[in-house]
Structure 1
Amino acid sequence: MQIKVSFPLKGSRQYVHGTSIFNAFVSAAKSAGQARGRIDISFKKIVPNPDCVMEVREVRPEDFSVAHVTGLDGSRTTFCITPEESMGEVVRVEYDEDRVCAGSVIDGCSISVKNPAHEDEIELLVALCKKLHQAYFDTDKKWLFSRYVGRYPLELSSEVKLSIVRNVGTKLTCSDVLSEGEKVGEIFFS
């Protein structure tokens, strides 16, 4: 199976945001009959071209992003994304991370928000995690969403919390994603 995907670029970014890729993988999993389950998404390289090809196949070294999906019935599917060689028209969409994080509270190595107003749940998690990293570690480092392991759809509750649980200096972190106190996944930044 091969699907052509054209992603919008968010804000002033010159690359495809990981949240867009996450949503495309979840949509593909649902289309493949796996509406719920666990997903392990890795962002191996920054995707500079919004025009990409998504395939169901084994992972190759040239892949930019990969998702291993396990449905509730135990079935497994691997989706891989590589950018096209040529780039078409670039479409941009607004992405205001400060507005996405409205009402969030940082407490040490954790950030939480009650009754988030933002509807795209992976955008919420990534924006919260970035805000936490900039406050906890360094405001000048460019932190990137590098992996998510956990349930899909996210179906977050009215109380969301992220806590950094492991880090290798400021090179790689792992944060637990909690929804109403229940761990639903892990998000990695590098």
Structure 2
Amino acid sequence: MTKKKLNFCFKGSRDYIHGTDIFNELKNCFNDSLNYENTMLDLSFHGIAKKKLDIVEDNATDAKVVVKFYDTNDDKKTYYLVENKDDIVCRYDYAENKIVELSKIDLDLGKINLNKDTSYSLIENIVALNKSLLENMFKEAFGKWYFTRLQLKKIPLNYYLIRLEFKSNFNFKLTKTEIFLDNESLGFIYFSLV
């Protein structure tokens, strides 16, 4: 059963729906039903979406994205995002380098910080920072970095300082980075090198 049709534009020069746009669209879609401070999130990407997506509640083996919301009572709601046949016909500019230019990186400690406003969303900042951290830490690695999973202890409404700390690399199939907002651990972001 289709819960909702989602609308997307391509970000920058990409020919696939960017994970940050999926996160932001889900946040908008569920805005009225989420208790942000008491909702944990597990968002995982199972493929690249090049067409528009629908949210369905039934388990979908062809899902490009799976999102799970948990509340403080451990009640879980799972939704699946599946491609439909509708083409994406729009595109918008995205100056990812603006985020990176405002950040400070410490390769010896595997950390990157952002303490300035970029005008981009929280998830856009986090993804751009993590990509920059990984590209600088693993310059010899060949391929393209993809945002593959996000685990949050809560969905923040406000934030100021963002700090990412690299935690582990599973042979580039999966990297794990811890997210800190205002010096409090928020969760983890995972990337894969393809």
Do Structure 1 and Structure 2 share a fold, with TM-score over 0.5? Answer: yes
In the alignment, structure 1 residue 96 sits paired with structure 2 residue 118:
no
Partners of 1:104 and 1:112 within 8 A in 2: yes
User: What does residue 80 of structure 1 align with?
Assistant: 80
Q: Which moved more, 1:139-148 or 1:35-44?
A: 139-148
Q: Once the two structures are superposed, what CA deviation does each residue of 1:70-104 show, in whole Å capped at 9, x if it has no partner?
A: 134543211111111242x5110111110122321
Q: When the two structures are superposed, what TM-score results if normalisation uses the length of structure 1?
A: 0.90
- 1:130-149 equivalences under 5 Å are 130-138=131-139, 140-149=142-151
- 1:42-81 equivalences under 5 Å are 42-49=44-51, 51-58=52-59, 60-81=60-81
The 1:78/1:174 distance shift into structure 2, 3 A limit, reads same
In the alignment, structure 1 residue 188 sits paired with structure 2 residue 190:
yes
Runs of 4+ displaced beyond 4 Å: none
Aligned-residue identity in percent:
26
| Count of residues in correspondence between the two structures | 186
Q: Which moved more, 1:135-144 or 1:180-189?
A: 135-144
Partners of 2:9 and 2:89 within 8 A in 1: yes
Distance (whole Å) between structure 1 residues aligned to residue 100 and residue 123 of structure 2: 12
How well do the aligned residues superpose, as a CA RMSD in angstroms? 1.8
Partners of 2:41 and 2:155 within 8 A in 1: no
Q: Once the two structures are superposed, what CA deviation does each residue of 1:44-74 show, in whole Å capped at 9, x if it has no partner?
A: 000011x21111233x321110100013454
Where 1:100 maps in the other structure, the secondary structure is: helix
Distance (whole Å) between structure 1 residues aligned to residue 191 and residue 24 of structure 2: 18
Distance (whole Å) between structure 1 residues aligned to residue 23 and residue 161 of structure 2: 22
- Counterpart of 1:4, as a letter, is K
1:105 positional shift: 1.0
Distance (whole Å) between structure 1 residues aligned to residue 40 and residue 188 of structure 2: 11
Where 1:144 maps in the other structure, the secondary structure is: strand
Unaligned runs of 5+ in 2: none
Partners of 1:101 and 1:127 within 8 A in 2: yes
Where 1:101 maps in the other structure, the secondary structure is: helix
1:151 positional shift: 3.5
Distance (whole Å) between structure 1 residues aligned to residue 30 and residue 58 of structure 2: 13
Partners of 1:3 and 1:55 within 8 A in 2: yes
Q: When the two structures are superposed, what TM-score results if normalisation uses the length of structure 2?
A: 0.88
Partners of 2:163 and 2:181 within 8 A in 1: yes
